[in-house]
Structure 1
Amino acid sequence: MSKPVNPYVVLLLAILLPGAGHVAIGEARRGLAFALFVLLFSFLTYMTTTPEQSFIGRHAGGLFIWALSIPDAYRRARIRYSIGSRL
């Protein structure tokens, strides 16, 4: 069994790109699902807002899902790291 990835590296990857933190810890399917939902909700909020809204307002749904994925990836990495360090 390989050594788990440092949770802070996972946190950085999750902040930089949605789903990348999950992919780094070996949960590619979960990471890709988060990335897909970021795109989907960004598109939905973009299509349901007016052009007068800011960039953040027009993509709020996707940014919200991205914000949810960051602590999820970090928490899962921290759990794997603590279990891996005991073995």
Structure 2
Amino acid sequence: MTDSTSPAPPSNPYLVLASAIALPGSGHVMLGLPARGLQFLFFMVILGWVTTKVTPPDASFIGRHAGGFLIYALSILDAYRIARIRHSVWAHSTRPDSDGAAGGAKADI
């Protein structure tokens, strides 16, 4: 017998994107990857601090903390990419095949 229950849908990628933009690392926490989110936060702080030490004092706020903002942007993109991949895999695995079975494996002809 086969189990006819479909897997639970993953988080909405746009909700993960909004969460990652609003609070750094929270998109990864929504995806169940809190350690990855903490790693991004750690490197945001470290590179933000490093760029404050190497930039001239007359640089803008964004310029003084450019390293941290770079990692912040990469964090947002990473969380959204993971959410999109998970959603696409879930959508592909739950769509019905031409023979009516959900799952993706077709019978050999």
Q: TM-score, normalised by structure 2?
A: 0.73
Counterpart of 2:53 (choices 40, 47, 61) is: 47
Q: Is residue 75 from structure 1 mapped to residue 71 from structure 2 by the alignment?
A: no
Partner of 1:65: 71
- Gapped runs of 5+ residues in structure 1? none
Counterpart AA for 1:42: G
C-alpha displacement at 1:20, in angstroms?
1.1
Deviations 1:28-68 (A, max 9, x none): 11111001100110010011122211000000000011111
Larger helix share, 1 or 2? 1
Of the two, which has the highest radius of gyration?
A: 2
In 2, the alpha carbon distance for the partners of 1:58 and 1:44 equals 9
| 1:15 paired residue number | 21
Q: How does 1:1-40 map to 2 (within 5 A)?
A: 2-40=8-46
Please report the RMSD computed on the Cα atoms of aligned residues, expressed in angstroms: 1.4
Q: How many corresponding residue pairs?
A: 87
Q: Could you tell me the percent identity over the aligned residues?
A: 53
Letter matched to residue 32 of structure 2: G
Q: Which shows bigger deviation, 1-10 or 34-43?
A: 1-10
Moved over 4 A (4+): none
Structure 1 residue 76: deviation in Å? 0.2
